[in-house]
Amino acid sequence: MPSNVEIKAVVRDPGLLTERAKQLSRSEGTLIRQQDTFFRVEKGRLKLRHLQDGTGQLIFYERPDMDGPKLSNYSLSLTNDPEGLTKVLSDALGVKGVVKKERYLYLVGQTRVHVDTVEGLGQFMELEVVMKEGQSVEEGEAIARELMQLLGVKKEDLIVGAYIDLLMADKQE
């Protein structure tokens, strides 16, 4: 199963973070609009990501709910019929919730730096250090920590869980 080391954090100064991400990636980034439908499952998280080109990705992943760098194991399947698959999975499993976001993607070495605007939540950043075969979790965590420092991400800005968890917590309050 593929894996990555990730962190998520609240963004206090989107302009500064974006400028640093542009400098590190030597690019203007790629704008991606996504809608993730999360389904009710007993373990891990299962989401169907609707992409702007009309395709989708069914993604199952497991990772601990803690702040800081954490290992995430995932599996992914592509679909050309995300609406039909959403209907089938909704009927079979039930929908937990939907996350809509606008994301700028910057590639820095083996890391995907995301600067996200999440509908109903605000501005966040996410690092995904895509693990190479044979690479240790500790190496991935060290890369994530170094990028956190270069991007100006503070430990107190780190968040636990996924965007869907934050949205669900907001609905319960």
pTM above 0.85?
A: yes
What confidence score (pLDDT) does residue 140 get?
Answer: 92
Q: For the chain, list the domains and their CATH numbers.
A: 3-172 (2.40.320.10)
- Minimal CA–CA distance to 8: which of 27, 17, 39? 17
- Minimal CA–CA distance to 27: which of 126, 112, 147? 112
> Residues 44-101: pLDDT tens digits?
999 999 999 999 999 999 887 767 777 888 999 999 999 999 999 999 999 999 999 9
According to DSSP, the residues that pair with 36 across neighbouring strands are: 49, 99
Burial class (CB in 10 A: 0-12, 13-18, 19+), 111: buried
Burial 10-23 (b: 16+ CB within 10 A, else e): bbeebeebbebbbe
According to DSSP, the residues that pair with 170 across neighbouring strands are: none
> Residues 147-165: pLDDT tens digits?
999 999 999 999 988 899 8
What confidence score (pLDDT) does residue 96 get?
Answer: 96
